[in-house]
Structure 1
Amino acid sequence: MKTSTLIILILVAMSPLMAQGFAPWSNVRHSAVNDAGNIVLRLNTMPEQQDPLECYYSANGAAWASALLNETEFTQYETLLPYAYGQTLKYRFRTASSYEGEGYAFLNPAKLDSNTFPPALNQMALIGEDPVGDSVSVYNPSLDLTTSYFGCTDTKFFAAMGNSSGTFPTLVSLVSYNAYMVLLINPESVSDTTAYAMIYTFNIPGIISSGLYKVGMAGDIPSFERIGNIQSQVSGSKLYLACNISDLIASPEFGAWPNTSHMLLSTAVTMNVSIPYGSTTPTFGFGDYATFGSLLFEFYSINAASNALPVISNVSVSNSPAGQTITFDYNDANQDFPLVSELYLNNGGIFQLTNTEFDFSDTVNFTAFIPALNGWSSGEIRISDNGMDYVNLTIYSTAIGVDASAPVALSCSLPNPVSPRGNAIPIRLSGMQKAPTQISVYNLKGQKIGNIFDFYASSSDQVLNWTGTVNGKTLSSGVYYLRVTQLNNSYNKRITVIR
């Protein structure tokens, strides 16, 4: 049996934590599409986060699917999501925990593509599942909640609930009625006596009917002030409700929306309303309440036509008694983070380039530290956002405190996989400088097989026809790298050869 009927008070008690912007995850970022057709999705959690973290994704409006998050480092998780350029891929997160003995879920609500009502259930986000038979004070299978869901658009909130009976009758008898509610609480303007709710019930003249309400609590006795209409429909054994966000924010006590923390607290509630013969005073018996939901209105999506290679700029090498620090700025038009960010030195040393900022919609600074007496004289920065295409830049130990490069934009594309069967294979180059240019082929061990083109580029864009041969011999089936080199810049393209 559940022990408390003060549902609003429970949500109010949770709200200060939510209003502070607390979230179990942060630094959500994605890579470009790798050679397996996936993006790498990566995020961080707080050290005290112990509850399992769930990830869901949807491509082009398909039903939400789940993806397993794996912990790759302490407080860092990642997963692979299938993606094809041109798609719109949405993804969101959820975790379940408890507060003062009450179960709650922290999640991103589903961002719906339209205001169509009712929305498809598989387009909504599950808040939680609820045990059967755990009524508060009144038991009825129709009042016994089992599931609750939430979704939204920029203008509407949507909710759905399931129960033990699969039906949602509102009229029990001439003196007894059922009411089904979804509470909506803004944690930044919360009151311990007021909440807002979408309510689906029988039209009881002078007392209550279906609509959007400001709900007051005086002890255990609720009061209802209607502030707007709702949409309601029972479909597929679920009850769907929707309201206009504008009706909520028109009520001053609800507060501003969106709020600063992008948070909303919500739960589904059922109750029985009884009005004895000859009386106009209703009595209320709570039936059940569903999982408490802390909804974080942050929405993640990708919609890219093709991969845009990262751009490296403002490279510098600075000196100190302890060693040398290499830094550069990283920008990616698709907001991809790099899967590879390494510095290869001419003496064989390899250093990881690291970052402390994770907002790849803006410039991110990368750095590496080389201890003194390392003995290096030159090195190569290698960056890749997909593990196949690389942006390379040569640096020198003597370039102390000097910007080492302008933004890198060299690019190469060709049909992949390559099938050298006598037909010309077009290699398209772009972003070139007017300078000597060399295209070479390397195996996976980094061993050079040979040059296939050596010329002076007279324009920034050029198409070269390749026969699939190196030094007069056709390449065997396998995986190789094409390296395009101009001055201190180079670009690697991973290719698969099929004969």
Structure 2
Amino acid sequence: MKVLSVVGFLIACSAQAQGYQYWNFLRHSALLPGQNMTFRVENPSGSGIQNYLLYEGASGVSSVPMSYVLDGPMTVTASVPGPTGSVRRYGFRYASAAGICILPVAIAPGADPDPADLTQLSTDPVGDEIFGYANLDLTEYRTGFSSTRIFASLSNAGGGFPTNSGLTFFGYMFAMADPALADPDTVFAILYTTNQPGIITPGLYRITGTGFGDLEKIGEIEHEIFASSNTLLVSCSISDLMSDPYFMEWYDPSDPAIGIAAFTQRITLIGGAQQADQAQGGDCFPRAVSVPPASNTLPVLSGFSLSGSGPTAAASIIYTDANGHCPVISEIVFDGAETFPMYPLTLVYTSPVTYRTEEGIGPLASGDWETALLRFSDNQTDMVELEVQNTGLPEDDGAPPLALSLSPCPSTGPVGIVAVIPEGASGRVSVYDVRGSLVRELCAPPGGSSASVTWDGRNADGERSSPGIYCVRLEAGGSAVTGRVVLTR
């Protein structure tokens, strides 16, 4: 059954909104220099595909292209302004030969949005309206949502948004339907049109056919005309939609997806409702993505381990971030000369994530290295480092090698130290200045343990140490490893 004969085109990317098919494993860094933030997400990419990261800006929704990066199985990334004084909201746009999908930037609770605050789905050519009315000639449409309302804006080629000219009436419609159906029998629409009580009035409708009798009003709408931009903004209550049993047959609030489109109509007493113009349809995923401002806690590195030998040799480390930030730098440096990236084995940063090198990289394959420095940063400024020494001991029992982690660096306050000591060796953690003089002995952790201690920047007499570079040395079992920390005021 064709609904109004104009909705067969609605679902341009049908059957693409089931589950988290797009934008999975969303993660982001801490604030970077310039108050930007790097986002990463798993999403299809490649030839003929465009990915964009959307963000809430001072003048509305802005976008930047996302590019592929070797991280997860199909990671795309981009850097955009992060949250500074208040929560910032984000979204995504994905375009391929199959169509367009958007995760709109959410509207703040209680906000009265302008059209620029909504997320554009598509533009439409000027001059393709078939009856010669500029006001029915769509040029673009946008959508957005808050916790209580769905918003849409329709822009035209001019002439305002009159609802009639004599006995000819006009309709401006934002349509919603089950995204799994290419040709739905039932469509929900925010319809701005003439006010003819008993026949038709502006409102939210369930549409099941081509005649006036097939339009059932299920809610009221709000509208505002922005004459300077030839734009109509309309909205409806989400609760009105969710009160409709048919809508709830396919709409899943825990994983929301809606097929959307915009079109205009000319309505005459003789010809009835006739489509005047249509804009490309797509899928909308109204899942709110926002990041609040927060103080950054630097990540912690622990549990360094080696596995395999020769072409299968690899190194692993456990990355833990109290804020759930992903790192923007993750690398291992052998003997201060050769640097190799490390990659995550999982992508949920609210839990510890194991990072691993590629198998068979030179130093690990040959075993010809003395020290390895693991370097991670979630903000491109503060580097968390862990230095390990190649003891040449087999690790069949899974015992970790000698390891030392220091953070933050540089530090204006206490320095957190994590020392890992192999089984059967007693350890000692001490702080020295750059001349090699002992500043303070901190602890003597037992073997087979991972000890955490804090250096408050003071010497053995309780006096605050001067700003500068200090060395933290871990000794155990006849071996030693040293890390550097910079104290600043």
**TM-score bin (small chain):** 0.7 to 0.9
C-alpha RMSD of the superposition:
3.8
Letter in 1 for 2:314: T
Amino acid at match of 2:44: M
Q: Tell me the CA shift for residue 86 of structure 1.
A: 4.8
Question: Which residue of structure 1 aligns with residue 223 of structure 2?
Answer: 232
Q: Distance in 1 between matches of 2:437 and 2:170?
A: 78
Question: Could you list the per-position Cα deviations for residues 78-111 of structure 1 after superposition, in whole angstroms to 9, with x for gaps in the alignment?
Answer: 3332446554333322244555xxxx53222120
Q: Which residue of 1 aligns with 2:101?
A: 106
Q: Quick check: 2:29–2:38 contact (8 Å CA) kept in 1?
A: yes
Seen in structure 2, the aligned counterparts of structure 1 residues 85 and 457 have a Cα distance that, compared at 3 Å, is farther
Counterpart in the other structure of 2:297: 308
Q: 1:373 to 1:195 in 2, by over 3 A?
A: same
- The answer for the alignment partner of 1:479 in structure 2 is none
Match of 2:374 in 1: 381
Q: 1:493 to 1:227 in 2, by over 3 A?
A: farther
1:271 pairs with 2:275: no
Q: Distance in 2 between matches of 1:384 and 1:296?
A: 32
Of stretches 143-152 and 33-42 in structure 1, the one that deviates more from structure 2 is 33-42
C-alpha deviation, 1:19, in angstroms? 3.1
Q: How far off its partner does 1:310 sit? A: 1.4
Deviates more, 1:68-77 or 1:89-98: 68-77
Q: Distance in 2 between matches of 1:205 and 1:69?
A: 49
Contact 1:436 1:454 in 2 (8 A): no
Match of 1:67, as an amino acid? V
TM-score by length of 2: 0.78
- Whole-Å separation in 1 of the counterparts to 2:33 and 2:11: 48
Q: Over residues 327-363 of structure 1, what are the superposed CA-to-partner deviations in whole Å (9 max), with x where a residue is unaligned? A: 2332222222222222233495543222243332333
Q: Distance in 1 between matches of 2:251 and 2:312?
A: 51
Quote the Cα distance in structure 2 between the aligned partners of 1:402 and 1:106: 47
How far did residue 146 of structure 1 move? 1.0
One-letter amino acid matched to 1:65: S
Q: 1:433-470 deviations in whole A, cap 9, x for unaligned?
A: 79634366xxxxxxxx6569731248736245455567
Aligned twin of 1:420: none
State the shift of 1:247 in Å: 1.2
Give the match's secondary structure for 2:158. Answer: coil
Contact 1:42–1:77 (Cα < 8 Å) also in 2: yes
1:490 to partner: Cα distance: 7.0
Match of 1:478 in 2: none
Name the CA distance, whole Å, in 1 between partners of 2:303 and 2:12. 49
| AA of the residue aligned to 1:336 | H
Kept after mapping to 2: 8 A contact 1:127/1:148: yes
Would you say the 8 A contact 1:311–1:408 is kept in 2?
no
8 Å contact kept, 1:145–1:164: yes
Contact 1:411/1:430, CA 8 A, preserved across alignment: yes
Give CA deviations for 1:192-212 in whole Å, capped at 9, x if unaligned.
211100111112233211111
48, 51, 54: which one pairs with 2:49?
A: 51
- For 1:146, which of 139, 152, 177 is the aligned residue? 139
Distance change in 2, residues 1:97/1:130 (3 Å): farther
Matched, 1:360 2:349: yes
1:123-154 deviation digits (Å, cap 9, x = unpaired): 2111222111112x433111111121111012
Farther off after superposition, 482-491 or 64-73 = 482-491
Residue 66 of structure 1 is matched in structure 2 by 63
What are the superposed Cα offsets for residues 267-317 of structure 1, whole Å, 9 maximum, x if unpaired?
A: 1111122225xxxxx711111112313212344333242221112344433
**3-state DSSP of counterpart to 1:212:** strand
8 Å contact kept, 2:87–2:291: yes
Partner residue of 1:180 out of 172, 184, 190: 172
Give the superposition deviation at 1:214: 0.6
- Say whether 1:402 aligns with 2:398: yes
Q: 1:32 aligns with which of 30, 35, 43?
A: 30
Distance verdict in 2 for CA 1:132–1:47, change over 3 Å: closer
- Higher mean alpha-carbon deviation, 430-439 vs 7-16, is at 430-439
User: How far does residue 69 in structure 1 lie from its aligned partner after superposition?
Assistant: 3.9
Kept after mapping to 2: 8 A contact 1:149/1:160: yes
Structure 1 unaligned blocks of 5 or more: 277-281, 416-426, 441-448, 471-481
Gaps of 5+ in 2: 420-427, 444-452, 459-463
Report the alpha carbon displacement of residue 409 of structure 1 after superposing the two structures with TM.
Answer: 7.7
Tell me which amino acid in the other structure corresponds to 2:89: K
Deviation at 1:382, TM superposition (A): 2.2
- Aligned twin of 1:456: 441
CA drift at 1:178: 1.0
Q: Work out which of the residue numbers 198, 203, 214 in structure 2 matches 1:206.
A: 198
User: In the alignment, is the contact (CA less than 8 A) between 2:8 and 2:184 conserved in 1?
Assistant: yes
* Residue aligned with 1:15, SS: coil
Q: SS where residue 326 of structure 2 aligns?
A: coil
Residues 186-244 of structure 1: per-residue CA shift (max 9 Å, x gap): 325787211100111112233211111111135x9882011111112213432111111
- 1:192 aligns to what? 184
Alignment match of 1:262 (pick from 240, 253, 256): 256
Answer yes or no: is the 8 Å Cα contact 2:405–2:418 preserved in 1: no
Equivalent pair of 2:193/2:201 in contact (CA under 8 Å): yes
Q: Which residue of 2 aligns with 1:9?
A: 8
Deviation, 1:381, is: 2.4
Structure 2 residue identity aligned to 1:300 = V
Q: Is the 8 A contact 1:411 1:491 kept in 2?
A: no
Quickly say closer, same or farther: Cα 1:312–1:258, change in 2 above 3 A: farther
Identity of aligned residues (%): 23
> Contact (CA 8 Å) 2:457, 2:487: kept in 1 or not?
no
Q: SS at 2:241's partner residue?
A: helix
Relative distance call for 1:356 and 1:486 in structure 2 (3 A) is same
Q: Is the 8 A contact 1:166 1:238 kept in 2?
A: no
Counterpart CA distance in 2 for 1:165 and 1:253 is: 36
SS of 1:388's partner is coil
